[in-house]
Structure 1
Amino acid sequence: MLKEAVKYKLTEGETARLVQLTDPHLFASHEGQLLGVNTAHSLSAVLNTLAATHYPAHLMLATGDISQDYTPESYRNFVEAIQFLGLPCHYLPGNHDDPRVMHLHMQGPGVFGQQRIFIGNWQILMLDSTVRGKPGGHMAEVQFQLIEQAIAAEPDRHTLLVMHHNPILVNCAWLDQHCMDNGADFLARVSRYAQVKGGLWGHVHQAIDEFYPRSGEPLPLMATPSTCIQFKPQSPYFALDHLQPGYRLLELLSDGSIHTHVYRVPGNRFAPDHSSSGY
């Protein structure tokens, strides 16, 4: 049985405006660093960059790897950090998260772990692609059932599928070992639904905007930079990029189309340790 959705009412024909944040890798301590980057400071810089734009977002999507150390404090730190934006936040787990600890401590006004969101004539499904104890992902059959049942229940809504792991390879050999292992099957199955208008994820710490071919309109596929370190694209071995932390804005139009763009913190304040061989 489908669980009830969180609902946002828009005026007729109004565009739904979303912010995606992903992979902040926070610690219990505000001084925690990941490969030379203070992740609390980099998240704060992303949030301040977003706030300075005065973008009239309706809600935020946080797409996993909120924590780096699995602590209750790391999740509470995220909730505390985003409060000043005044945006509802919907989250899902990544491979660095402990889902039990996450659900217990990602708590606060307007913080939601439900898998279904209605906004205007869109349905957003927050999917769990994690596999306990493994960095790679898998879309379990129960998640496919959720997609099928949610679309059957709301056939007139456009649908955005949101997850943590990448269903496509990103041509980084070391990183593609940790993709969604049934990503090809996932895309083949979900692309059959005309209601599905896009796929969105984190995990890969880089921006990707591609299309999956299908009959009719191709399916937009989108990955978003981390709010901390960035992985160098097209690298066969572990390598960090010089690009700054970022986020994604999405506009879900009433006709089912998606307008989106990635933005980054200006300047060069966050420089990771490029001698690192992994994390």
Structure 2
Amino acid sequence: MQSEAKNYSKLKNDSVRLVQMTDPHLFADPESQLLGVNTAQSFNAVLDTFIASNYQADLLLATGDISQDYSPDSYQQFADYVTKLDLPCHYLPGNHDDPRLMNLHMQGDHMFGHQRIIIGEWQILMLDSTVRGKPGGFMAQDQFELIDGAIKSEPNKHTLLVMHHNPVLVKCKWLDQHCMSNGDVFLEQVGQYPQVKGILWGHVHQAYDSEYQGAHGIVSLMATPSTCIQFKPKSPYFALDGLQPGYRLLELGSDGSIQTQVYRVAGDRFSPDNEASGY
């Protein structure tokens, strides 16, 4: 990931409009399935659903677990699939990703691995919460330093923090074992910055919307469904949900407000293997 900022121009009072897609779990073979769901087909169904909405987004944020098999082809296919959106795509790694292969093969004029994005009245920080070889996450010191330096360099910008792992527990006992292990410390530290207005992640394969009381006001907490399989909310054991793949739209107001909603593919086309006991 690149530490220099990627800048986009917006009129001063314009909102920043984002689409987040996460956890596609693609394979080198586009016919491969994850727990009964063809992940290439489900990802493309999400892309097509978003296109049909005619939402005029500025950027696509891809928040990790791009690949399921660590293959170069899975990353290149992701880059190829998202060209149909005609949007800049900013990505970060998840625990199923190989960051080196990701950066080598997520290529194209529309693909960006920058950790800092400056657009309108906002700064978006794409953070790396992964721990090599482990499903759970941890926010390392260099990422805290990135946040501090970025905010000090743009103190008048509202800030959205984006990562793969959940910094709060989502009340799925089996899944919460694989959260960001220093999430409490992370929230306490970033909650000290008045610029931080929202925290956005993937990983949990379900929608989640909550709030954190920071030192200077409310911080929005948001997780987004996967573009493939869904985990059943509040389940103590591994369980899949029958809800369809989805994505999240965010409108970041020039006043620091965040309006957001999750959308899903219509119908019941993608049905997981409910006999699965893990993946």
Aligned to 1:86: 86
Which protein is richer in strand relative to its size?
2
The secondary structure found in structure 2 opposite 1:5 is strand
Instruction: Indicate the residue corresponding to 1:204 in structure 2.
Output: 204
Measure how far apart 1:133 and its partner are: 0.1
Question: What's the CA shift string for 1:146-176, capped at 9, x where partnerless?
Answer: 0000001100000000000000001111000
How far apart are the structure 2 equivalents of 1:92 and 1:128? 7
What is the RMSD computed on CA atoms of the aligned residues? 0.8
- Distance across 2 between alignment mates of 1:100 and 1:259: 34
Question: C-alpha separation between the residues in 2 aligned to 1:264 and 1:241?
Answer: 13
1:232 aligns with 2:228: no
Partner of residue 173, structure 1: 173
Q: Check conservation: 2:8, 2:118, Cα contact below 8 A.
A: yes
Name the amino acid aligned to 1:217.
Answer: G
Partner SS state of residue 45, structure 1 = helix
Q: Detail structure 1 runs of 4+ shifted over 4 Å in the superposition.
A: none
Q: Give distance in 1, aligned partners of 2:215 and 2:128.
A: 27
- Residues 194 and 215 in structure 2, CA contact (< 8 A), matched pair in contact too: no
Alignment of 1:1-279 (within 5 A): 3-279=3-279
1:168 alignment partner AA: V
How far has the Cα of 1:11 moved from its partner?
Answer: 1.0
Gaps of 5+ in 1: none
* CA distance in structure 2 between the aligned counterparts of 1:162 and 1:274, rounded to whole angstroms: 31
TM superposition score normalised by structure 1: 0.99
- SS of the residue aligned with 2:240? coil
Amino acid across the alignment from 2:36: G
Query: Which whole-Å CA distance do the structure 2 matches of 1:215 and 1:87 have between them?
Result: 35
Residue 277 of structure 2 aligns to which amino acid in structure 1? Answer: S
Cα offset for 1:36? 0.2
SS of aligned partner of 1:213: strand
SS at 1:136 equivalent: strand
Q: Secondary structure at the match of 2:230?
A: coil
Amino-acid identity (%):
68
CA separation in 2, counterparts of 1:99 and 1:221?
25
| In structure 2, C-alpha distance between the alignment counterparts of 1:245 and 1:255, rounded to whole Å | 31
Contact in 1 for aligned 2:83/2:110 (Cα 8 Å)? no
Q: Which amino acid in 1 is paired with 2:71?
A: T
Q: Which amino acid aligns with 1:162?
A: V
Quick one: which amino acid aligns to residue 267 of structure 2?
A: G
Q: How much does 1:85 deviate?
A: 0.9
